[in-house]
Amino acid sequence: MYNTKTIRRHAGLFTDMAERLGVDLQEAAMRGQIMPDDIADGVLRCTGCTDPDKCEAQVAASGRLNDVPDFCRNEALLTALKDTN
């Protein structure tokens, strides 16, 4: 079980990664491109990351990302959402 600090950190990383890719998760949910449970699942997948510091550094260093980093546990989900924008 994850603690609140871990969940919050990874929720932020997941959201920040999506934003760097030009994906607004809330907007995607409102358009029916993703279900709210899919967002929660994405956060939980993110908590399984073995190197969140690497992700945090990449997100902080990037204004905009063209592709999801291959180390991202949400690569398939974020790529699919990016391709619908």
| Count of structural domains, the chain | 1
Tokens of 67: 């592709």
Alpha-carbon distance 60 to 34, whole Å?
Answer: 25
69 pLDDT above the threshold of 70? yes
Choose the weakest-confidence range: 20-24, 47-51, 53-57, 81-85.
81-85
Comparing CA positions, the residue from 48, 37, 47, 33 lying closest to residue 78 is 33
1 pLDDT above the threshold of 80? no
The boundaries of the domain holding residue 10 are: 4-84
Say which amino acid occupies 83: D
4 pLDDT above the threshold of 90? yes
Q: How far is CA 11 from the centre of its chain?
A: 8
Let me know: does 62 contact 7? Beta carbons within 8 Å.
no
The pLDDT tens digits for 37-66 are: 999 999 999 999 999 999 999 888 878 899
34 pLDDT above the threshold of 70? yes
